[in-house]
């Protein structure tokens, strides 16, 4: 009997729900969180060494982790695969998100009592018109484009035909692409993955029968399994190292070249105080300061803007776009889109030299809405009497007690159509090297997936932060062997809020209500909003 080899090196990579895309949100009270960038850079370093016999990826339930983050992780983990190593995933249980991530593995191991909750995609849309009416509230909005459906939740009881068409197209594309990628990765499957989804969810035994997984083992049994599988006496697990820069923190060499990463996360508001309920928000003051700092730092050779925003204030969006455009004259600017970069989020992006989106990014939504929520009946119910003295025909236009008059509504429609919508179209067309007519066909408020966006020229390529870093290096003429440090902006002050402390303990429905409160805080003084439709949550 041949002697077993002494040992094999195993690279251990935990993928938990504590991975955070926007590292500027981390502080003293979030020390258990890990920046996505650190994980991706750690995986990149590991893929370059190619010194591991086995890569063991331990995937926990990822809960609210966005699909774009899942895609970035999947692509990054796939880069670890070689002809000479073995990539194994272990999960206790999994939804479609975790299984999609795991499907790149040579072998998938599930805990014997675990389940695969594979049931497909679901998009939820909320309509609160009747609830508002019961409270004595009403809504009055104007918009550009049949697909600009944000206000529909306030003024309709169900989806309009264009709204439904748009969401069905998004979900269909998600299903097609995710199923196709899983099918390509899991050659063991004996039937199309879309058909398998219709039979889910699956117990552990059913998962084995359907060839969705390869083994049933507890986490404590994996070492013994690998020792037998690899015919070695011992498996030595080496944890993945996380990197803050493209060189180890132990290296005392201080790199002379920097790439700035500016995070633009949340609703776009005129000022922070205009959105007090929100945990994160994008303001012109904060963004302009960050862009100026990156532009003026001579060591910064390129700027990446990580956009994860549904949009917001038209004024604020334009002010930030203008600053990006100015900075682009001095340094290359690359945008990396997150889960969403739509409406105002897309407006910011078109000022850059190059745009990356993940396939499941929601983008586009070129259009405008404006309006208000009023509550005259609610005031009556509460016994509140209001008297107003005005000077000026439209002085009471923003009254919270009544809808717009016919004349006021006409004035608002003229403004958002002839000025704000036209402005958006022209700047998007200029940024994407299209004529206004061509861009108009892609506009009307329609939300597109990243895949669709690339096909229509709204974005340049499918990719995430690591691809944006590579593109930035290329545009800044930073050689592959040059070490780079990252300047992460904006620098945020630590501010505690009751919301941030309790939100993680709330139910999904409660968090949806808080999200609606965030958007409601954007309305005021009939201002124009570049805001994507409140869709949804796609699971």
Q: Domain spans of the chain?
A: 5-119+200-239, 146-159+251-370+408-538
Write down the pLDDT at residue 396: 84
d(CA 275, CA 286): 14
Write down the pLDDT at residue 510: 46
d(CA 184, CA 202): 21
Write down the pLDDT at residue 2: 52
DSSP 3-state of 485? strand
- Contact predicate 511/503, CB 8 Å: yes
Write down the pLDDT at residue 387: 87
Tokens of 50: 């190619």
**Pairing of the two strands 537-538 and 123-124:** antiparallel
d(CA 2, CA 244): 45
Write down the pLDDT at residue 491: 84
Same topology for domains 5-119+200-239 and 146-159+251-370+408-538, yes or no? Answer: yes
Write down the pLDDT at residue 522: 56
Question: b or e along 159-193 (b: 16 or more beta carbons within 10 Å of the residue's beta carbon)?
Answer: beebbeebbeebbebbbebbbebbbebbeebeeeb
Write down the pLDDT at residue 225: 93
Q: Tell me which CATH code domain 146-159+251-370+408-538 carries.
A: 3.90.226.10
- Contact predicate 357/459, CB 8 Å: yes
CATH of 5-119+200-239, one of 3.40.190.10, 3.90.226.10, 1.10.260.40, 3.40.50.12240: 3.90.226.10
- Give the residue ranges of the chain where pLDDT is below 50: 1, 248-252, 274-277, 496-514, 516, 525-526
Write down the pLDDT at residue 361: 98
Write down the pLDDT at residue 234: 81
Identify each DSSP E strand in 1-143 by its residue range: 5-15, 19-20, 34-35, 54-59, 86-91, 94-95, 107-110, 115-117, 123-124, 138-143
* Tokens 């108009």, located at residue: 440
CA angle 465, 37, 89 (to 5 degrees): 100
């Amino acid at each position: 009997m041949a002697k077993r080899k002494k040992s094999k090196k195993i690279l251990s990579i935990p993928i938990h729900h504590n991975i955070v895309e926007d590292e500027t949100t981390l502080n003293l009270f979030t020390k258990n969180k890990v920046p996505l960038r650190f994980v991706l850079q750690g995986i990149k370093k590991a893929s370059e060494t190619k010194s591991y016999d086995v890569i063991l990826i331990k995937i926990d339930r990822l809960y609210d982790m966005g699909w774009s983050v899942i895609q970035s992780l999947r692509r990054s983990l796939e880069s670890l695969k070689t002809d000479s190593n073995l990539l194994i995933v272990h999960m206790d249980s999994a939804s479609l998100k975790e299984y999609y991530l795991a499907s790149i593995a040579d072998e998938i191991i599930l805990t014997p009592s675990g389940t695969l909750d594979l049931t497909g995609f679901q998009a939820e849309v909320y309509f609160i018109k009747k609830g508002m009416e019961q409270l004595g509230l009403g809504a009055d909005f104007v918009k550009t484009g049949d697909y600009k459906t944000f206000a529909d939740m306030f003024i309709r009881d169900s989806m309009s035909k264009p709204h439904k068409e748009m969401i069905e197209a998004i979900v269909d594309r998600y299903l097609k692409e995710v199923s196709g990628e899983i099918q390509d990765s899991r050659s063991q499957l004996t039937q199309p993955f879309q058909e398998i989804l219709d039979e889910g969810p699956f117990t552990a035994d059913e998962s084995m029968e359907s060839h969705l997984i390869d083994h049933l083992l507890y986490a404590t049994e994996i070492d013994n399994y690998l020792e037998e599988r690899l015919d070695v006496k011992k498996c030595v697990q080496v944890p993945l190292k996380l990197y803050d820069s493209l060189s180890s923190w132990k290296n005392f060499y201080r790199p002379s070249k920097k790439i700035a990463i500016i995070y633009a996360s949340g609703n776009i508001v005129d000022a922070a105080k205009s959105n007090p309920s929100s945990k994160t928000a994008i303001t012109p003051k904060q963004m302009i300061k960050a862009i100026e700092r990156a532009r003026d730092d001579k060591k910064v050779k390129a700027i990446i803007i990580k956009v994860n925003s549904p949009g917001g204030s038209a004024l604020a969006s334009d002010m930030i776009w203008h600053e990006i455009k100015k900075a682009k004259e001095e340094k290359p600017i690359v945008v990396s889109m997150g889960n969403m970069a739509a409406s105002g989020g897309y407006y910011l992006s078109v000022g850059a030299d190059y745009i990356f989106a993940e396939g499941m990014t929601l983008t586009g939504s070129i259009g405008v809405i404006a309006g208000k929520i009023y509550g005259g009946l609610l005031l009556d119910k509460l016994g509140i009497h209001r008297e107003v003295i005005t000077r000026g025909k439209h002085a009471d236009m923003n009254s919270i007690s009544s809808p717009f008059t016919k004349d006021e509504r006409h004035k608002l429609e003229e403004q958002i159509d002839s000025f704000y919508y036209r402005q958006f179209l022209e700047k998007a067309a200029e940024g994407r090297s299209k004529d206004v007519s061509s861009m108009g066909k892609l506009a009307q408020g329609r939300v597109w997936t990243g895949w669709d966006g690339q096909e229509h020229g709204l974005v340049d390529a499918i990719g995430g932060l690591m691809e944006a870093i590579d593109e930035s290096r290329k545009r800044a003429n930073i050689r592959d062997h040059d070490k780079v440090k990252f300047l992460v902006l904006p620098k945020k002050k630590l501010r505690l809020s009751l919301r941030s402390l309790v939100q993680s303990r709330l139910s999904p429905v409660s968090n949806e209500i808080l999200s609606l409160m965030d958007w409601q805080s954007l309305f005021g003084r009939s201002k124009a909003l570049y805001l994507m439709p409140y869709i949804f949550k796609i699971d």
